Every structure is written in structure tokens, then in C-alpha cells.
Chains A and B, each alone.
Chain A
């Protein structure tokens, strides 16, 4: 495959190439090229633009000193602007813009607009240079003995191949190994389900049919930040919904003696099984729960199964019962890992 295909498509008469030997289009002089008054006017315009820029630079300093950061300006139909931000942005922006506009005007009106031609040169080196370079390279190779001393070469390559290992090993302490931490949550049998804002325990009567409540395990507020409060929040948060028991088609578990719900109050993980966003959009008529990130939709009246979207697994259900005081507690821990899937999940 050499240059066989650079000719025209087999038609008689030879190729027509663009007219390389034809001169450039005629140059039309601008008014500033021949009219000294026009040139003078362009010069004044450019000077004016530069002066404007200087003016706005000074105005910037004035705005910086004079306008307090909490002053606002109401803008109709838009809302309010920070007066300081608007003034600083407009003055600084215009100061830059007018320098640019001035230089552009200068270039367009006063600098030469005559196109010039330069020739290109082939980027490839001449053949003899290539040959010389190759022979120099080969001299170098021969001199080093890299090609002939095989044991030496292989031991070097072997050492070099191993050498990056410390750079990878040293990353080991970036974090702990996963262990079984993705399989466990703070939910243990008897743990109270409390409101996620106030931490107050919840009675079934607090949730009307069709209602939904964000909740968490009772011990979560006690976990300090340094001990992973946010990590716990990212896994443990749940939703309590109350659905008319007749409309509940299925649940993930439970027996008539030990049901997973309490009179239609169901508890589900709030963390989406797709990539872990908290789920919050509930449609009480259909019992569908929609994830605002990627629109996975779960049917809470049907075991939290996926009815639409990219999530593959149902939302894990937390079995609940009432404690002696009539508050909702976990009957058991989650029976499957919450949150997004991972390799070891199985």
C-alpha cells in the first residue's frame, strides 16, 4: 500500500488540483490604509477603549473598598444579587474586556491585513539522516551490549519490572480492608426506630396510612463524627411507610406469628441499591418509591421490588415489631446488605 491511490479516479485527462500557483485573492485596502484621518480616528477609538479599561480597573478598587459584602441589589424577575459580587465582576470584567477590544481594534484597523505566504517543508527527515540516526542508534546499542549480553539484559528488565512494587505496596494503608463491614449495619434486634431529625421514638399511630417517615437507629446520634457517624448514616437510614394491609401484596419475609410489618407499617432501607443515593420521592397512591438520582422505582407494597430503572435489586426490608412501651423497634437486623451491589455480595 504505497501511494497507489493518490491519483484521480481513473478518468482521462489528469487530476485537477486547486490552483496552487495562482496568486492570493487581491488585497482590498482598508480605509485606514489610505486615509490618514480614518487611521487617526481608529487610533482615537483604541485609545478610548484602553482608557475605559483603566477607568473600570479604578472603579473595581472603589467597589472593593466601598461596598460591604452583605449589600444586595434586587433585580426584577431574577431575584437579588450580591452588590459586591456584581460590582466587582462587572468592573473587573469590563476592564479586561476593553483591553481585549482595544487590541483587537488596533490589530484589525492599524496593523497590516495583507496575507503573507510561507512554504511548508516536509516533516520527514531526509533518507540519509534517517539512516545516519539508525546507525548511530545501533552503534549505541552495540556499545552497551544490550542486544548481545542476554543475561545482563534480562536481569535488568526483571529488576525494573519488580521496582514499582513498593510504589503500589505503600498505598496499602490508604484504608482498611473491607472485611464484612458492607454486610453489617447498626440495626440489631430490639433497636428502636427513631425520627431522623429529632431522634424521637415512633409509635405506629404517628404514621397515618399513606404516610412516610425518615428514620434511623436510636443509637446513631450517639456515634461521634470521628467514629464514623456519617458512615453509619450512609448505611443505616430507613423509611417507615404505612400502607393499608389489604394493599400489601408481598413482603420480603415474616410469618403470621412474626410478621415483618406492624399493621401495615413497613420499614425499608433508604439507600438505593443502584449506586447508593438516599431515596425520598414517594407516591402514596401507587406505593412507588422513586430515587431522585437515576429514577429507579421500587414498589413498597410488593417487597420493595424494582418496577423501573437501572437498580437491579429490591430495597432491603427491615423486620419490625413493637416494644413493651409500644414504640417501633427492629425485630431483627437487615437480612441482606444495604446499598449498592459489590463483588463479594453474592
Chain B
């Protein structure tokens, strides 16, 4: 009690002013479900913190200036070479500031981890249907965060003004120029005149260290508050429903695990930055607009857009004395814009097609939403093809394949392969659904073959565990949208008939070949059969168990339970 009083005295100050007790009593032991796939969102958050911290260190030494200086410093191969101050200060950070190279590499590895973990987190959210009502807003914030991550990463690796980053900026300028009507003006305003000018690095710096991080920080804050307020989703299992949340209390378990995990992510990033070089700008040399290296590649997360730029056919039209560069404008600007918009509207689109307006807190198993899973797999195949296209030169030289052949493969593959992936994925999902239904109706196959008195051989089936049953039964069957009536009861034509009919058709397509879950009555009958089969097989299973040598069964749940019971005794629970 004395501890309570002491803490109470200290908390009184805060509570008198901020009512913290009310918040604390509701939230300190808030329940968080646990699953390894929930780790990727955390990883994204932690890597952002790492990037933010290491970035602050870099600002202490980095000079975002395109003023020309002559290098005479520690890295002798570049002595006497003209370069921008930005590049020189990056060299100084790498070679003269102790721990400077480490901070640079932490910053770059952290940025890669940030985008990689956001991408995987987003895949988890998509394939488990976690974006469904009520989490559409957080999904949208997530899409914006990923987009901002791309922009921020590109801005970041453009700042050192080395040969590779300058090449990236030249491509960015080419994309700006391709924008119809205003493109030339955008480019001249961005670069303060012709490319490269001497303004761009300092302008980009402000955007990179203030504007975009500010936006990302705001979006992340909103993202976290919404997760907290709506409570986390959970995977189906015994005792888990749409109305409860099963997991560990925020304090101390979740706090410890999340806090500990931050240090692990931080530790691995720093360790990696100590032993694995990333972006060795000194070996590229300073940017000169008339120089280039073979095998120029952007950071991996830009690779798919680079692939789009490489695979695009060379279409250009001139209309009334004006040029439209479809070959640059479509892959450089349209593709990203369209994909972001498709991602943002997806939750609403799916809700409209399925007519599902309920709250969802229990995650879908990907197999139970075959069309969604197939759309996801299709999109990933599209992404992977573009990513391969972005490395066509590296693949070409490494595997001795013609670059032209790779490019043509991407051009055709991007249209042909995703639909094939869609069909295959959907079929796999439906097969898994069938297997699930089979398991429910006939039980688990034990692998034990028994001969009945009249000579028939049967395999003994055992009942499913409660947990397995709960997982399979978590599937929700939804009837497609009803076909609309052309006229109502009074014979009045329904003006929205055509529109409703189209949606209904889409909805029926969405649920094609759905494997319905057994009804309660069917399941009861089936379970009776399984119990019967298991009872018939019981003697033979018992016999087999008796033949096992002592201690031969490694994972006998019954034995483990018994041991646990024994164990409980001494501590007197």
C-alpha cells in the first residue's frame, strides 16, 4: 500500500492537471493480440525512428550546397577533383567524422528497412482483410505513408550529389519535362532554370528533412492512434470472436516486447551498417551531367518504376506543334498515380461488390477470400515483373541473356502473366477451402489403417481439435448481391436497374465456386460419424501406442498436460 501511496502522490500532480488516471485505468492493461505477422508494422515504425535519429546526426555535418569546391582530403583518389559542397561534405562525413560513415549507413539501411517493412506489412493487411470496415481510413493512411516513403527515399539518395544520384535526378527531370502543357515550366521552376542548375540540392534538402518527414510523422501518429482506438485485429482461433480481443496486456508484456523489439531492430540495423557497405558514394565520384556508369540502378523500391520506364514502348505524338512523350509520361507519372488510387479505393470497392457492411475484427484466412487473394497475387506478379524489368541490364550481363529479350518478355508478360496468376491463385484457394470442408466433415486423417471384421480397410479419422475447428469455421459465407428487379411491385421501372445489375453480376463473379461452410446440422451429423470412427479405431491406436518404446513419443499432448499438472502442485496454485 505504501508504494501505492507514493506513486499516487506523484501521479496526483499529473492527474490534477490532465486527468491521467481515467486514461490509465482504461489503457495501461489494454489487450494486444500477438502474432508474428503483426511484427512488420512495428518494424516500419522503429526503422522510421532510427532513420529520423540518424538523419538528425547527418544534418550536423552535411552541407546542402551545389557550390563548386576542389577536394583535397582524406580520400586521396578524388584529390584535385571539382565537386559540389554537398558531395564533399558527404565524403567528409564518410572519411573524417568518426562514426559518420556509420550514421550514413544506418540512415540508408534504415530507410530500406522502413520501406521493405511497410511493403510487407501492407501485404499482410491486404491478404488477411484487415483493411475492411472499420479500418479503411488506416489503410488509406498506410498507402499515403508508402508513397511518402518512396518520395522521401528518392529525395534522400539524391542529396549526396554523386554520379549515381545525379543520374537519378536527370531522369526525374526527364519525367517532369514529359508532363503535358506545364512540364517544361515545372522543370525550370524546380531546378531554378536548366538542369542541373545550382539550386536543386538545397531545395530538395528542405523537402527531405522537414516537409516529408513532417507529413510522415503526422500520418504515423494518426495511424497509431487509430490502431489504439479501434483495437488490433486478431487471427481466428479457439475463444476468439469478432467481439473480443485476446492477447497480452499492454503493461508490462506488450510494452516489454515492443520496446525490446525496437532495440533488436536498432541493433541489427547498426550492426549491418558496421559490416555491410551501402551506397559507397566515393566510388561513384561527383555528379557530372556528361558522365555515366554502366549498370546504373536506383534503390530497390524505385526498381519497379524504373522497370516501367524501361519496358514502355517508344510512343510519342506531336499534335499541333506540341509533343506528348507517352513513353516517359505513362511509366513515370501515370502508373504510380493510378496504382496509388487503386490501392486507396480498394477497401470501398470490395465492400461495394460484396455488400459487406459489418465491422471486421477477426482476420480472414487468405483462402477464404479467393478473389481478393487472387487480386493480391496478381498485383504482386505485376510488381515483380516490373522489378525484374528495372534490372534488365544487370540480369542481362549476369545471366548472359539479351536485354532486348528480357524487355520483350516484360512487355508481353505484364499483360499475360498477372491474369494467369489470378486464376491459379483463386483455384488454389478454392482447393484449400475444399480441404478444410473435408476436414470438418470427416475429421483429421490419422494415418492408421484398420481392417474391419468383414475385410474392409478403412483409415481411422480423429476429431479436429477445438482450435482447428474454430479456425476453419471462422470463414464467413456471404451471399452475392441480389439480382435487382426491373420493375417494382406496382410495375414502375427501376431507374437504377442497369447499374444494380452490373454490380450484382460483379458480385456473383466475386463468389464464383465458393465452397460453402457446412451448416450446424450437417456438422453435428458429421461429428457423430467422426467420433464413431475414432471409437472404432481407438483399440488399434492404443495398441500401437503400447508398442512405442519408452519415451519414444516426443510430442504427446496428453503427457505434456499431465506433466504441467504435476508441475503446478509445488507452487500451490
Residues of A within 8 A of B (CB): 1-20, 22-26, 28-29, 31, 33-36, 64, 69-70, 81-82, 84-90, 92-104, 106-107, 111-113, 115-120, 122-123, 171, 174-178, 181-182, 196, 214, 216, 225-226, 228, 230-231, 233-235, 237, 270, 274-281, 292-296, 306, 308-313, 339-346
Contact = CB atoms under 8 A, between A and B. Distances in A.
A14 B519 contact: yes
B561 A26 contact: yes
Interface stretch (B15-23, B93-101, B375-383, B448-456): B93-101
B185 A178 contact: yes
Interface stretch (B110-118, B208-216, B478-486): B478-486
Contact of B520 (A15, A106, A116, A174): A15
Contacts of B274: 85-90, 92-93
Contacts of A295: 310, 392-393, 403, 407
Interface residues of B, number: 152
A344 B322 contact: yes
Contact of A4 (B184, B477, B482): B482
Contacts of A25: 237-239, 466-467
Contacts of B473: 16-19
The interface centre, meaning the residue of A6, A7, A31 with most chain B CB atoms within 10 A of its CB, is: A6
B68 A117 contact: no
A288 to B, nearest CB: 11
A93 B327 contact: no
A56 to B, nearest CB: 10
B79 interface: no
A196 B290 CA distance: 9
Contacts of B271: 89-90, 93-94, 97
A69 B96 CA distance: 7
B206 interface: no
A115 B246 contact: yes
B410 to A, nearest CB: 11
B183 A237 contact: no
16 contacts: A13-B520, A19-B466, A85-B102, A113-B253, A119-B243, A225-B198, A231-B196, A275-B328, A276-B173, A292-B295, A292-B393, A312-B325, A340-B178, A341-B177, A342-B177, A343-B179
Interface in B232-275: 236-249, 252-253, 256-257, 259-275
A51 B97 CA distance: 29
The interface centre, meaning the residue of B96, B263, B469, B480 with most chain A CB atoms within 10 A of its CB, is: B263
B571 interface: yes
B474 interface: yes
A169 B249 CA distance: 54
A97 B262 CA distance: 9
A105 B564 CA distance: 21
B292 interface: yes
B292 A293 contact: yes
A118 B245 contact: yes
The interface centre, meaning the residue of B167, B266, B274, B469 with most chain A CB atoms within 10 A of its CB, is: B274
A26 B275 CA distance: 45
Given A84-B98, A99-B263, A341 B256 contact: no
B170 interface: yes
A177 B194 CA distance: 10
Given A13-B521, A118-B245, A103 B259 contact: yes
Interface string B65-76: 001100000100
Contacts of A101: 260, 264
Given A89-B271, A278-B289, A19 B359 contact: no
Given A237-B290, A295-B407, A312 B256 contact: no
Nearest to A99: B263
